[in-house]
Amino acid sequence: MGLTTAVLTAMAGMKTYVVDPNPARLGSVRSGKSFFYEEGLDALVTEAVKTDMLIATADYKQAVPESDIVISSVGTPDNPDGSSNLSYIFAAATEAAKYLKPTAVYVQKSTVPVGTGTKVKQIFTDAGIGNAYVSNPEFLREGTALADSLWFDRIVVGGDDAQALESVMDMYRLIEQSRKTIAKLAGLTTPANHQAGTYKTVKLESAELIKVTSNAFLTLKISFANSIAILSDKVGADILEVMDGVGADNRIGRAFLNAGRGYGGGCFPKDVSGLIAAGLENGVNLQIMQASQTLNEEMPGYIIEKLQKVLGGALRGKTVAVLGLAFKAGTSDARRSSGVKMANMLARAGATVKAFDPRANEEALEYLTKQVVIVKDMETALQDADAVIVAVDWPEFTQYPLRKYAKKLPQGVLVDAMNQFDIAAVNGAGLRYIGVGRS
C-alpha cells in the first residue's frame, strides 16, 4: 500500500519520498523495481525514479521537513491476543513529529483500531505541535492494488480540520486527473462496469471503523458460504448453484460468496481479530466475527480430511502436490496462506509434500515446515503424486490440461480447494474430483 500510493502521487506530479529502514527495499526502489510483485508497478517505479519524482530514503530528516502531506503506511501486525500491535504506528508518529513543518498534514493510511487517531494526536500534543491529523483508510487488494487505486470505489478521509481534509482530497483528485497516463504506462485497462468513485468526509472515528468493518463484512460472506458448503457436502447440493441463486438477489449480491479453503493474507485475518479485540476493549462481544474466525481456521483441515478419506484413511506414505502458496493469485504474499497451512498439515500427518507457486515460492519459505519440499515448477510437483491440491487459482493451474494432470497422477485425485474446475470435465479426464460443497 505504501509504495503503490507513493508511486501514484509521484506519477501525478507530486514529488514523493518513500521512507523505510530496510536497505534491501530501498535498494530495490532506487533501482527502479518494486520489492514485491504487483501487476504494472515496476514500470511506474522505474519512471518515477528516473524523473526524480520518487526518492527512497531511510532518513525522516530528509523527507518529512520537505513534505506538505506525510502518510503513515507502516505495518500493524496482530498481538498474540488478537489485538493490533500499534508500536510501529506510534514510533512513526513520534519520529515524524520531530520534523513536521507547522502546516503539514499527517495522514494515517494503515489499518488501525478505532481510537488510534486520538492517541497519535496526543503524541503530537506532547511534542508541542498541533499538526492536523487525518484518517484515510485504504481499500486496496493485493494483486490489483494499482487498479483499485486508479479506479476507486470511494476515497474516505476523516478528521476535524476541514482544510486538511480538503488537502488530502486534492491529492487524490490529482491522481484521478492523471489516471489515463498512469494506467497506460502500467499496462492497465479500465475495469468493466466501472462507475465513478465517490469522495467522503467523515468523523475521525468513523473513518477508522469503515475499513475494518468493510473487511470484516467480506469475511462474513466467505465464512457464510463455507458453512453452507459443509452442509451442501452432507446433503448432496452444489454450493456454486446455491450461491449463484442466493447472489442473484440484488439485496445480497454474488461477490465474496465463494466457498473454499478460506481467507488469508495480511489484512482479513488481522482485521477480524483486531475488530474483535476492539469490541472487547469497549465492552462489546462481537460473537458473529468470532464465529467467522473459527470457521475460517477450520476450512484447510476440513479439506485435508476429505482428501484423507479418499486416500484410504491415512496420509502417511502418500505423496501430495500443493499448487499455490500465495494467499491468493496475483501476489507473492504468503502470509496466512491456506495453501501453506494445508502443506504443513499434510507434512505433519506423514505425507511427502511437494509445493509450488509461480510467485510465492521464496516468500513461503519462512512459513513452511522443513518437511515440505518447494520445487521449481508444477510438473515437478505433480510427478508421481497421489493427489494434487490446487490451493490458488493461478491461471497456470486452472488452465493446465486435465489430461496432463491425469497422466502425472497415478491415483488421479484432484482437490479443487477453490471450486474452480468443472466437475464433469475433471471426471471425464479420468480424475477423481474433490471440491468444497460439491460432493
pLDDT digits (tens, 9 = 90+) for 99-116: 999 999 999 999 999 999
Q: Indicate whether 315 and 181 sit together in one domain.
A: no
Choose one of 159, 174, 202: the last residue of a domain.
202
Indicate whether 121 and 261 sit together in one domain: no
Statement to judge: residues 327 and 387 lie in one domain: yes
Shared domain check, 120 and 31: yes
Residues 358, 394 contacting (CB under 8 angstroms): yes
Residues 336 and 231 in one domain: yes
Sequence length of the chain is 439
pLDDT digits (tens, 9 = 90+) for 137-191: 999 988 899 999 999 999 999 999 999 999 999 999 999 999 999 999 999 999 9
DSSP states of 129-167: ---EEEE------TTSHHHHHHT-SEEEEE-S-HHHHHH
According to the model, what pLDDT value does residue 439 have? 78
CATH number at residue 272: 3.40.50.720
Cβ contacts of residue 351 below 8 Å, gap of 6+? 315, 316, 317, 318, 319, 320
State the pLDDT confidence band at 78, using cuts at 50, 70 and 90. Answer: confident
Judge if 252 and 138 occupy the same domain.
Answer: no
Tell me the mean pLDDT in the region 186-200. Answer: 93
Alpha helices in 239-371 (DSSP H): 239-247, 268-281, 287-310, 338-348, 361-364
Per cent of the chain over pLDDT 90 is 95
pLDDT mean over 64-84: 93
Q: Which of 151, 170, 202 is the last residue of a domain?
A: 202
Same domain, 387 and 300: yes
223 and 178 within one domain:
no
Q: Do 194 and 217 belong together in one domain?
A: no
For residue 231, give its domain range. Answer: 205-439
Note the pLDDT tens digit of each residue in 396-429.
999 999 999 999 999 999 999 999 999 999 999 9
Residue 133 β-bridge partners: 106
Q: Is the CB of residue 418 less than 8 Å from the CB of residue 300?
A: no
Q: Residue 133: pLDDT band by 50, 70, 90 thresholds?
A: very high
Q: Give residue 5's pLDDT.
A: 97
Q: What pLDDT score does 119 carry?
A: 97
Number of domains in the chain: 2
> Poorest-confidence range of 35-44, 85-94, 114-123?
35-44
191 and 218: one domain? Answer: no
pLDDT mean across residues, the chain: 96
| 112/255 same-domain check | no
Strand partners for 202: 158
Residues classed as catalytic: 267
3-state helix, strand, coil in the chain (%, to 5): 45, 15, 40
Quote the pLDDT of residue 47.
Answer: 97
Could you tell me which of 161, 170, 302, 295 has the C-alpha nearest to residue 227?
A: 295
User: Is the pLDDT reported for residue 306 higher than 90?
Assistant: yes
**Where a domain ends, among 162, 182, 202?**
202
The verdict on 351 and 295 lying in the same domain is: yes
Q: For a pLDDT cut of 70, what percent of the chain falls above it?
A: 100
Q: What average pLDDT does the segment 220-234 reach? A: 98
Kindly write down the DSSP assignment for every residue of 367-425, as one continuous string.
GS-TTSEE-SSHHHHHTT-SEEEE-S--HHHHTS-HHHHHHH-TT-EEEETT--S-HHH
Say what the pLDDT of residue 382 is: 98
Task: Evaluate if residue 80 carries a pLDDT over 90.
Answer: no
